[in-house]
Amino acid sequence: MIRGLHHITALASDPQVNLDFYVGVLGLRLVKISVNQDDPGVYHFFYADEKGSPGTDLTFFPYVGIDRGVLGYGVSTRVYFSIPLDSLDYWLERLRSFGIHYSEPRRTEDGVVVEFNGPDDFPLALVAHKEADDKEIYPWRDSPVPSEHFLRGFHKAEITVISCKHSGWFLEEVLGFRKIREGSDSARYAAGDGGSGSIIDVLCPPGLSTGYVGAGTVHHIAWSVDGDREQVFYRERLSRLGFGVTPVIDRKWFRSIYFREPGHVLYEIATKGPGFDVDEPPERLGSDLVLPEWLEPQRGWIERILPQIRLPNGKKIPSRYVDRNPR
């Protein structure tokens, strides 16, 4: 059974700007610095809670200078984070202090929602609701955001597609989600117990163009399963129904399968474990460039290609960086 969101991965255009925002402004912990395993000359940043818990993890492939993505059909629209109800004023003031423009808070079925954009105009939102306090997350002890206001993981995902009917059928009949509500141009589905972190809104407004993925848009949405048995169940089911699905891919910190739903949004099903501490001790998560063992022999050229970044503690990565464009 799919339990809810595992992680969401997006594209960015500047690794340092990306890191400074998600750690310095949103206060998330950089739990892993690695590379895109399918394109190792590009970083893969993982931002999450203290432990890198599934459901808290927003990740980025920062391709330097990549074109801006375009929202439209076939693209995930906005990423929604949970916050406690009592944290709304804190977050409004924090966004103001960094000069970040945000929408007027509005009450919805989810709670009080505030929308704003991150770097590359990446659409984000905070959802203040009572259920946020009950979510099992671990605030990062060194976060610039106090623990009582720390982001409580994802609240929901959101996709825009041509046909709500087809994408909804896939969620219900193939992935086992439950329909919560349905309207003329939107529908809501939930996995598992249906609480915060397990929701997806499917939007199908008329008159849009096809979107495309680039800087400031979501690359894929990953759903969480307990382990290998559940993942194999979904892989066999997808294959049996004629949907293209990858083999199980070992990502070191979890195992993954990938496939597209009828609206062309890319989904992943990822296992909860083994977790981010499989190759770094918990207290040192995100402190070095970590490569899976099959990429370790290529570390030399990978470090020469990657742009150098500076961590909040001042450490530079890669440490053996060679400026390819000296003045």
324 lies in a domain? no
**What percent of the chain is predicted at pLDDT more than 90?**
96
Distance between CA atoms of residues 294 and 291, nearest Å: 8
- The CATH number assigned to the domain holding 56 equals 3.10.180.10
Give percent above pLDDT 70 in the chain.
Answer: 98
Closest-CA residue to 58 (of 108, 106, 22, 105): 22
34 bridge partner residues: 44
Condensed to tens digits (0 to 9), the pLDDT of residues 59-100 reads 999 999 999 999 999 999 999 999 999 999 999 999 999 999
What confidence score (pLDDT) does residue 193 get?
87
- Per-residue confidence at 324, pLDDT binned at 50, 70, 90? low
Would the pLDDT of 327 be above 50? Answer: no
pLDDT band at 322 (very low <50, low <70, confident <90, very high): low
Token pair for 194: 């249906």
Amino acid 107 reads R
Q: For the chain, what is the domain count? A: 1
Q: Rounded mean pLDDT of 272-294?
A: 98
Question: Which SS3 state, helix, strand or coil, does residue 134 take?
Answer: helix
Instruction: List the one residue out of 36, 20, 76 whose CA is nearest residue 216.
Output: 76
Domain contains 326: no
Q: What pLDDT score was predicted for residue 326?
A: 46
Long-range contacts of the stretch 136-143 (C-beta < 8 A, 24+): 136/53, 137/49, 137/53, 137/55, 137/56, 138/49, 138/50, 138/51, 138/53, 139/49, 139/50, 140/27, 140/28, 140/29, 140/49, 140/50, 141/50, 142/29, 143/27, 143/28, 143/29
Tell me if 134 is assigned to some domain: yes
pLDDT at 256 over 60: yes
DSSP 3: -
Question: Within 10 Å of residue 122's Cβ, how many Cβ atoms?
Answer: 24
Average pLDDT estimate for 94-121: 99
Q: What angle do CA 23, 52, 267 make, to 5 degrees?
A: 100
Six-digit token string for 121: 């105009």
Whether residue 325 lies inside any domain: the answer is: no
pTM of structure: 0.96
Residue 319: per-residue pLDDT: 82
Range of the domain at 146: 4-317
Span 290-315, average pLDDT: 97
The reply to whether 38 falls in a domain is yes
With respect to residue 146, please indicate whether it lies within any of the assigned structural domains.
yes
The C-alpha angle with vertex 108 and arms to 209 and 179, in degrees rounded to 5, equals: 70
Determine, yes or no, domain membership for 327: no
The beta strand positions in the chain, using DSSP E, are 4-12, 29-36, 39-48, 57-62, 75-76, 79-83, 106-107, 112-117, 123-128, 154-160, 178-182, 186-190, 199-203, 218-225, 249-250, 254-260, 266-274, 309-310, 316-317
**Dist CA 257 CA 303 (whole Å):** 28
Residue 210 CA: distances (Å) to CA of 95, 161, 206, 213, 315: 31, 9, 11, 10, 41
Q: In whole numbers, what is the pLDDT of the chain averaged over residues?
A: 97
Running DSSP on this structure, what letter comes out for residue 80? E
